[in-house]
Every structure is written in C-alpha cells, then in structure tokens.
Amino acid sequence: MKHTFTFVLLVVAAFGCTHTAVPPVAVSPAVTSPVLVKDPHSFARPAEVVVEHLDLDLTPDFAQKKLSGSATLQILNRTGAGELHLDSRGLVLGSVTADGEPAKFSLGPVDPIMGQDLRVAIGPSTRSVKIVYSTRPDAEALQWLSPEQTASKKFPFLFTQSESILARTWVPCQDTPSVRMTYSATIHAPAGLLALMSAENPTEASADGVYRFRMPQAIPSYLLALAVGEMRFRKLGPNSGVYAETPVIDRAAAELVDVPKMISAAEKLYGPYRWGRYDVLILPPSFPFGGMENPRLTFATPTILAGDRSLVSLIAHELAHSWSGNLVTNATWNDMWLNEGFTRYFERRIMESLNGREYAEMLAGLGLEDLHDEIAAMTPDQTPLLQNLGGKNPDDAVNAIAYEKGAFFLRHLEEVVGRENWDRFVRDYFARFAFHSMDTKTFVDYLQANLLSKNPEWEKAAAVQEWVYGPGIPSSLPLIRSDAFTRVEQQARGFVSGTPASQIDTAKWSTHEWIHFLQSLPKKLSRSQMDDLEHTFHLSTRNTEIRVEWLVASIANGYEPVYPAIERFLTEQGRRKYLKPVYAKLMETPAGRTRALDIYRKARPTYHSVSRDTIDKIVGWPAS
C-alpha cells in the first residue's frame, strides 16, 4: 500500500541522541516533534503556525447542554504566515482577538467528517489568539446525562470523548495527533459537583464549583478530557487512585486494587511513568469505550466492575497507553497501529508479569480469533497496518487490524530478535521519542537502523514490508500456545457429544476460558443444549464479556428465554464494543430486525454519539 506523503524534520538529530535517564514528572517542551505529517483529518497547518499552549475558561450549562467561555491559544508562527488554521466543528463563535486586538476570522466550507477550517488573521509576531465561543447541545464529544442516567440518580453528569477527531467539537484547536501542546483550564461547575480533567486533579469538590487545572506535559488534542459530576475518590497507591460516583466507589476501589502493581510492572518493562499520577475514573454506563487513556486520568466503563477482577486487563491496556500513545503518539490516524498495536502488546506483557505466561497466551488466543473474524469480513485493502483513511471517519478504523495485527507484528519481532534485545529496543524507543509524534515510515526506518540491521537473519525474518504494508495475516504469525484452551476445547467437544453441562469442570475457569468455551461450540445448538447451559451456568447474568458471547449465541439459535436479558443489556450500557455484535446479530433475521429497531428506538437517546454513529449504520437508522 502506498505510504501517505510525509516530510521529516530533525530525524537525524532524533536518531543520533543518546539514551539518558529522565525524571518521572519531566515537563516536556511543546511541539518539537521529529516528524511533521500531513494529516488527512485536520485543517491545521502546523508547519506554518503551531499551537504551543491552550488555556481554557469554560462554564458547563446542564440545562442548555452547552459549554461556554473562551480558548486562548499561545502560538508560534514558524514561517511568518498571515493565518492560523484551526479545526472547528459546530462551535458557536463569538469574538476573536490576536494579542488582545480584534482579529478577522472566517470559516471554510463544511466537511461532514472534518467540520470547518477556522482561519484567524495573524501577524508574523502574533503570540496569542483568544476565541470566545460556546458548544452546541449536539456537540459529539460531549455527553450530558440527566440524574436518571447516573448511579446516584440525584445529579447530572457531563463527560467528554475527544478521540479520534472530536476535540474540535468542544475546543477550537489543531485537532491532529501530530501537534502537542501544554494546557491549563478554569472550569466553573455547579456548586457541589466535582470537575476533573486530563491534568492535575483535585480529590474533593470545591465549595464554589471553580476548579483550576494544569497539564505541564505536552499532549495532542485528542487527549483533552473533562468530566463534571458527583464523584468520590479512593487512594489505590502512592501515585494512583480511583474516582467514581458515590454508589460505585467502593466496588471500583476493590476491583482496581492491583493498579499499583500494574504501574510497577509497566515501569520495569519500558521505563519510568512520566505523567506524575495515574488515576482512573469509572464513568456512567453510557461511556462508549472500554477505556480512554486520558493522561493522568483514564476514563473507564463500569462494565469492568465484574466483582472478581476478571476484566481488569482493560486497565492494563489504558495504563500501557501512558507510553504507547500518550508518550509516543501516532502522527495521524492512518498510523493508529503505532498507538494500539504497541499498547495491546504492552498490555499482555503487563498481564504476563502479574498473572503468568498462560494467562497472557489466553488473551493472545482470543485476540487472534477476533483478528481472523474481522479480516474475514474485510476487503484486502482494509487489512494492512498502515491505513489510508482520507475521506473516512477514523473511528470506523478502530478494529482488530490496529490492535491485534499490530500486537502480533510486535510479538513476531520479539521472537525474531529475542525478548532481551526487543525490550531494550522498545525501552530506548520510548525514551528517544518521548512527547513526540511518530509516523509509520519513520518507525520502520528507525526499526531497521537501530535493531534489524544488526543481524542479516533478523532483517530477513522480520518480514516488515509484508506485515506493515501487506494485506491479511502474514505466514510468520507467531504460534499461540495455551494448554488451558486445549482443555477447554476438550470440554466443549464433550458437551457436544452429550456430556451434561453440570459435569463440566469450570470451577477455576477465567473469563478467557469461558469465552473460548462458548466460541468452541457449534454455531447451532439444540434447544435442550441451550437450556442446559443457561440453567447450569446462568450465562445471561455473568460478567459482560461472557454475557455478550452468550447473547449473540442465543440470538443465532433463536433462544427466546434470553431475549428479555438482551433488551436489558442493550438499554443498561452503551459500550460500543458490546452493542455492535448484539445489534448486528439481531439484524440478520426479519424478526430480529424488528426487535433491534424497537430496542434501539428506546436506547438510542442514552448512547454517546460515538456509539450512535456505529449502531445507526448497523440498523439502518435514518439520517437526521
């Protein structure tokens, strides 16, 4: 696949720097990236003028569902350009000033995916641009929850989701991951509610509702985050804790007790944690993702609160993003695998450190099954690691290619060069490119120059071109070995052959073994077999990962007793990963389609726009 065009700056200097120790909370300079890449999803022109710092002053209005206030941008005019180009989508603009003086501004044509190019007239020495604005009630990054949609049922709640290109719907900015900036903010929240950001955070609500934030490390715009609601804090470790609504906080603290161990395991692998604190916010159920790696404050779905810590590998994933993604960031969303593939690989290394190789192999085995399933539904041009997403919504490319194919490529490299050599390379990679952006070509060149060229056999076996630019799954795919899954498959064959469910020994099964068991069964089961599994194991009420597998299998088999549980599931949470397979399976039959539309009509207003956009396509919801 042809690489998107790139111009590289300072690469020689970056490659030539030496590895030096860094303090855990170093303040990084803004926008000194070794690569500047033309981003197909941004109007920004950072090669001309770049934003170095953002200062926000915003007031959330829950009644009108809008944020209002100002964004002050500290800029560097690199070329003497006469205009600053920003990304904007649906913002209601007021006044614009440059260095305190009124400035002319205009908006370009509306692009259905990218929004509009906000052009502000500046001079060669202009250092500050202030934009007074407000958001619209339908701003896609924002979800305004009524008290009834929260755990307490007493207070409203607001949260943001800026990734991939939704920061522009609540902040005028250079909304590209190739630009990093520091930021500060003042948030005027309703009295009694706590405001949190991807920054230095309070642990208690202020009396007057005014909060001031500071993010001293430079971050890309998609890591801007805000939450306002009734929340409590519990300490987990010396630099970690958890926030959640009052009815949820005790469960959350018990579930995430191992977070300090995860931080320690991650640091031993790939170097110091560079963000100061690592806290987690458990959001209300409508949060569309499993987690969002906002620096200092991971946003997480309540679906991970299984009661037995069986789903906390998700936290390991978001923690790993503190290195792969937050620290070294994909330059554009075409390079998403550099964020997600590295993070999936790193996540499994963390879980291996905590729970052993067999546990990590089960995670890898399930990931490989997902990869095979998704590739089977794709065209070949959709399956290289380097994507071509121009003209497409990058959220539509959040799939197993970036996550699983990327992770297996890195595991393949580990096996080619040996774990010790690989870990040394990755540790150095994170240190050398900390607080910078990285595109695929530059990474491949760096990999070649700093690792593979040291041994001709490594260079040949790595098959880099095939993995990065080729379709499908290369023949050098690492072999996954799981004795636990082998035993599960034997149990599944026994059940199909007539062994009652009550005789299956599941006492020590992990969530991964349950999922593999269900995936190992035939697609079609008899009514008596479905009854036996449900009555023996109560699968429709197990943790969310197991439940999704069972609900999809129940739909495929027309198993009516589970349909009330399906409706409850689709109306009680809004995580896109779980909604997609259930709605998709319902839509395969006329009767299921009727059910899906009836449920979606009720549930759609409670979903975040990220989930709505995806499910709208699945069910054929009419465009507004």
Q: Annotated active-site positions, please?
A: 318, 403
Q: Please name which of 207, 208, 201, 275 lies closest in space to residue 242, comparing C-alpha atoms.
A: 201
Q: Are 478 and 412 in contact (CB under 8 A)?
A: yes
DSSP letter, residue 540: G
Query: Residue 164 has which token pair?
Result: 């991939």
Q: Concatenated DSSP letters for 405-424?
A: IHHHHHHHHHHHH-HHHHHH
Q: For residue 106, what are the β-bridge partners?
A: 119
Q: Are 569 and 297 in contact (CB under 8 A)?
A: no
How many residues are there in the chain? 624
586 membership: H or E segment, kind and range = helix 576-586
Query: Residue 253 has which token pair?
Result: 């603290």
Separation between Cα atoms, residue 501 and residue 508, nearest integer Å: 15
| Distances in whole angstroms, Cα of residue 472 to Cα of each of 97, 378, 406, 408 | 51, 9, 12, 12
Separation between Cα atoms, residue 560 and residue 558, nearest integer Å: 6
| Distances in whole angstroms, Cα of residue 583 to Cα of each of 211, 546, 580, 608 | 41, 16, 5, 16
Beta strands 291-292 and 240-244 are unpaired
SS3 letters for 369-388?
HHHHHHHHCCCHHHCCCCCC
Q: How many CB atoms lie within 10 A of CB 65?
A: 17
Residues 72, 76, 80, 82: what is their CA dihedral angle, to the nearest 10 degrees? -20
Separation between Cα atoms, residue 393 and residue 242, nearest integer Å: 32
| Distances in whole angstroms, Cα of residue 550 to Cα of each of 210, 539, 582 | 46, 6, 10
Angle at CA 483, nearest 5°, toward 482 and 484? 90
Separation between Cα atoms, residue 114 and residue 85, nearest integer Å: 13
Query: Residue 103 has which token pair?
Result: 């400035």
